[in-house]
């Protein structure tokens, strides 16, 4: 077997590569429609998706909003970069322009919508009397709440004038094809980017209940917007009758591609699922226990075992450190394993950004804790402060990719050799 650290890095790189829109989108793209066709989009992968569209169709009219640093050279489609995960004025202004652009289309026109994870923050159209500052406060509160992504997106939909099917409704009566890259557990189109092209069945009462459940402190204007319940488009609304939503890339595809590499190395693969949710440190402790059980059942000379999983973990912010769910998972896993021999792991976000840092995630090994302590680090204190990125930066075990131009959620792999 190859060096465990190098092998784990290869698995992650393969998972990212197969989700690259330049490789995955074309098979789901129809022939270029007759008449006027406008390309719109939002998300961390949306500019790369636009680039893939123009590679197939040639220069196109349109407007796509992506994260700062994630732009791509397009010949016709305008690419606007804006802030993520807390929105800014660039995103708000571009969203307003996008709504005007599709609002001017007619029945004979076509919209191609390109939506990936990150669209929730990049499509900014505050509902009711909310301001951009209100919206920023909402996003910051959601990110610190520990709520799973599905629950956060329910709240976001009801505080927006573009999510929950409202972007698609604005384009009616034009025909719309939405190509979606999933970064959510279960690949629910209504949860990807908070569903700007998908009807929302839930009422604002559900969002209000979730706000109370997680103790989220909303600005007054946001609370008032939830009380008015003026947003989202219900499924079955005539304005959604000409919309087709297609998920063309999903976490399961990336996990399976990584598994193929591992199997070729003679490693036995166990899939734990592509839709795992929960508090990062809690999931890590459970996975550490599972890894120990797998190792205890192995006989000398047995083939290594790889535990693969995806989904989206959360972090309830308790301290003042710099971290993210993947790095916190890796740190909590290292602490729970306590230097157990023969167990290595990687945890990274496929978009290259884990939480509050431009870092994809981290790798751990049996000597992780010992090296950290030798450098003056305190693993338990780092975990208590939510400072996983600081912890791994000090020992050189961060995984830094830069913009990957794709986004199919978290990638976690635990490699287990006989003790």
- Indicate whether 24 belongs to any domain: no
pLDDT at 203 over 90: no
- Could you report the per-residue pLDDT of 58-88, keeping only the tens digit for each? 999 999 999 999 999 999 999 999 999 999 9
Same domain for 237 and 260, yes or no, is: no
Are 419 and 341 spatial neighbours (Cβ–Cβ below 8 Å)? yes
Q: Where in the sequence is the domain holding 270, given as residue range(s)? A: 4-14+252-416
User: Looking at the structure, do residues 237 and 130 belong to the same domain, yes or no?
Assistant: yes
Q: Are strands 410-416 and 305-314 parallel, antiparallel or unpaired?
A: antiparallel
Verify that 278 and 156 share a domain, yes or no: no
- Residue 265 in any domain: the answer is yes
pLDDT of amino acid 71 = 98
Residue 358 belongs to a domain:
yes
| Cα–Cα distance, 118 to 69 (Å, whole number) | 13
Regarding whether 169 and 275 lie in a shared domain, the answer is no
Q: How confident is the prediction for the chain on average, in pLDDT?
A: 96
**Mean pLDDT across 138-164:** 93
Mean pLDDT of 293-320: 96
Nearest to 258 by CA among 24, 38, 9: 9
Instruction: Return the axis-axis angle of helices 132-145 and 220-228, rounded to nearest 10°.
Output: 90
Residue 402 has pLDDT above 80, yes or no: yes
375 dihedral zone (left: phi>0; alpha: psi -120 to 50; beta): alpha
- pLDDT of 356: 76
Residue 293 in domain: yes
Q: Among 207, 225, 249, identify where a domain stops.
A: 249
CATH of the domain at 278: 3.40.1480.10
Q: What is the secondary structure of 216-253 as a DSSP string?
A: ----HHHHHHHHHT-----TT-GGGTTEEEEEEE-HHH
Q: Give the per-residue pLDDT at 208.
A: 95
Are 243 and 263 in the same domain?
A: no
Whether the upstream peptide bond of residue 173 has omega within 30° of 0, thus cis, is yes
How many domains, the chain? 2
Q: What is the pLDDT of residues 158-177, one digit of tens each?
A: 999 999 999 999 999 999 99
> What would the mean pLDDT of 254-265 be, rounded to a whole number?
98
Q: Say if 26 falls within a structural domain.
A: no
Q: Could you say which of 249, 276, 293 is where a domain stops?
A: 249
Answer with the residue of higher pLDDT: 150 or 71. 71
What pLDDT is attached to residue 37? 98
Q: Give me the mean pLDDT over the 368-395 stretch.
A: 97
Report the percent of the chain where pLDDT is more than 70: 100
Nearest to 167, CA basis, from 203, 193, 188, 186 = 193
Rounded mean pLDDT of 223-233?
87
The confidence score (pLDDT) of residue 2 equals 77
Is residue 229 pLDDT above 80, yes or no?
A: no
Domain membership of residue 22 (yes or no) is no
Cβ contact 56:29 at 8 Å: yes
Residues 185 and 198 occupy one common structural domain: yes
CA-based nearest residue to 416, from 292, 309, 333: 292
User: In the predicted model, is pLDDT for residue 119 greater than 90?
Assistant: yes
Q: Same domain for 216 and 105?
A: yes
Same domain (yes/no): 170, 286: no
Q: Single out the residue in 221, 249, 277 at which a domain terminates.
A: 249
Over residues 341-345, mean pLDDT = 98
pLDDT at 1 over 70: no
Residues 318 and 411 in one domain: yes
289 and 151 in one domain? no
pLDDT at 120 over 70: yes
pTM score of the predicted model: 0.93
Task: Look at 14-18, 20-24, 315-319, 325-329 and tell me which has the smallest mean pLDDT.
Answer: 315-319
Q: Are 303 and 348 in contact (CB under 8 A)?
A: no
Q: Average pLDDT for residues 116-143, to the nearest whole number?
A: 94
- The answer on 188 and 300 residing in a single domain is no
Any idea what the CATH number is for the domain that residue 198 is in?
3.40.50.10180
Q: What's the confidence (pLDDT) of residue 271?
A: 98
| Pair (298, 221) in one structural domain | no
Question: What number is the average pLDDT over the span 104-121?
Answer: 97
């Amino acid at each position: 077997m190859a060096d465990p650290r190098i092998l784990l890095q290869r698995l992650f790189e393969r998972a990212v590569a197969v989700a690259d829109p330049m490789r995955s989108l074309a098979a789901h793209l129809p022939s270029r429609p007759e008449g006027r066709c406008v390309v719109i989009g939002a998300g961390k992968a949306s500019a790369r998706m636009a680039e893939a569209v123009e590679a197939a169709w040639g220069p196109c009219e349109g407007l796509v909003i992506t994260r700062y640093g994630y732009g791509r050279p397009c010949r016709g489609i305008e690419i606007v970069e804006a802030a993520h995960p807390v929105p800014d004025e660039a995103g708000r202004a571009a969203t307003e322009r996008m709504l005007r652009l599709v609002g001017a289309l007619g029945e004979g026109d076509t919209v191609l919508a390109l939506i990936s994870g990150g669209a929730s923050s990049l499509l900014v159209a505050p509902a009711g009397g909310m301001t951009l500052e209100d919206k920023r406060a909402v996003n910051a509160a959601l990110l610190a709440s520990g709520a799973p992504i599905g629950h956060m997106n329910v709240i976001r939909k009801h505080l927006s004038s573009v999510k929950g099917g409202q972007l698609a409704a604005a384009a009616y009566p034009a025909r719309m094809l939405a190509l979606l890259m999933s970064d959510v557990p279960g690949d629910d189109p209504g949860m990807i980017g908070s569903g700007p092209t998908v009807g929302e069945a839930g009422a604002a009462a559900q969002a209000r209940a979730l706000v109370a459940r997680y103790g989220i402190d909303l600005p007054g204007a946001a609370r008032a917007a939830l009380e008015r319940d003026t947003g989202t488009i219900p499924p079955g609304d005539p304005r959604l009758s000409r919309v087709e939503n297609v998920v063309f890339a999903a976490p399961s595809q990336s996990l399976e591609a990584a598994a193929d590499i591992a199997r070729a190395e003679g490693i036995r693969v166990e899939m734990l699922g592509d839709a795992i949710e929960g508090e990062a440190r809690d999931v890590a402790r459970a996975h550490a226990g599972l890894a120990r059980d797998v190792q205890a059942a192995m006989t000398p000379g047995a083939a290594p075992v790889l535990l693969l999983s995806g989904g989206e973990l959360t972090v309830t912010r308790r301290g003042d450190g710099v971290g993210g769910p993947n790095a916190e998972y890796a740190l909590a896993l290292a602490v729970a394993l306590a230097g157990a021999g023969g167990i290595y792991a990687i945890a990274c976000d496929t978009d290259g950004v884990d939480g509050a840092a431009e870092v994809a995630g981290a790798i751990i090994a049996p000597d992780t804790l010992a090296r950290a302590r030798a450098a003056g680090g305190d693993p338990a204190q780092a975990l208590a402060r939510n400072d996983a990125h600081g912890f791994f930066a000090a020992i050189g075990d961060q995984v830094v990719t830069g913009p990957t131009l794709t986004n199919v959620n978290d990638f976690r792999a635990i490699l287990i050799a006989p003790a």
